[in-house]
Structure 1
Amino acid sequence: MEWVYLIVAGFLEITWAISLKYTEGFTCLLPSLFTGAAMLGSVYLLDLSTKSIPIGTAYAVWTGIGAAGTAIMGMIWFGEPHQAMRLVCIMLIIAGVIGLKINI
């Protein structure tokens, strides 16, 4: 169950990072509340996942999911650059996350 918590925490990491763009410096109430809730949920689920997953592995997977997912969503939603080298680097992050899961 801890891996499920960790994966959901990673997706909440993506959620808050993307929604941060809509807070306008935390001056817009609803996006700010949503972002804060996603942050809290993400950290809480990360904490739950560390009951059986080593903290180093959990943190690396959590940030990997967040970084790769946010970069991909930025390309899709915000038209951010998607050059081949950037995509290769994102794939390397994903490969690292998968490698950490396989070795546990």
Structure 2
Amino acid sequence: MAWLDLILAGGLEVFWSTMMKQSNGFSKLNYSLYCVLGMIASFYFLSRAIKTLPMSLSYPIWTGIGAVGSIIIGVVFFHDKLAPVTWLFVGLLLVGIIGIKVTGGH
């Protein structure tokens, strides 16, 4: 269950960062509220995961899901342009997240 909480927390990290972009510098109230609610929910599920999982595993995986997910959202929905070499580093982030999970012992 803790892993599910952690994955959900990471997904909510992607959600709130997307809503922050949509809020246009917190000038659009509805997106601003979604952003803040997403932050609260993300921290809530992270805190649930950290009750069981080590912080040294939970936090980097949470931020990694948020980072990679936000990159993908930016490219797909906001048409952000990334240099080909940047994709190499995105891949390395994924390898790092998976490596932390696999070698973390939980």
Q: Name the TM tier (shorter chain).
A: over 0.9
Normalized against structure 1, the TM-score is what?
0.94
Residue 41 of structure 1: aligned partner: 41
Measured in 2, the distance between the counterparts of 1:68 and 1:41 equals 19
Using the aligned pairs only, state the percent identity. Answer: 36
What per-residue deviation string (whole Å, max 9, x for no partner) do you get for residues 42-101 of structure 1?
Answer: 011000001121112111000000011101110111111132211111111111111111
Q: Indicate the SS of the match to 1:27.
A: coil
Residue 15 of structure 1: aligned partner: 15
The worse-fitting range, judged by mean Cα deviation, of 47-56 and 80-89 is 80-89
1:2 is aligned with what amino acid?
A
Q: Which runs of 5+ in 2 are unaligned?
A: none
Residue 102 of structure 1: aligned partner: 102
Alpha-carbon offset, residue 23 of structure 1: 1.1
Q: Which runs of 5+ in 1 are unaligned?
A: none
What per-residue deviation string (whole Å, max 9, x for no partner) do you get for residues 2-41 of structure 1?
Answer: 0110011001001111110111222211111111111000
Normalized against structure 2, the TM-score is what?
0.92
Q: Indicate the SS of the match to 1:79.
A: coil
1:97 is aligned with what amino acid?
I
Aligned CA RMSD, in angstroms, stands at 1.0
Number of equivalenced pairs = 104
Residue 60 of structure 1: aligned partner: 60
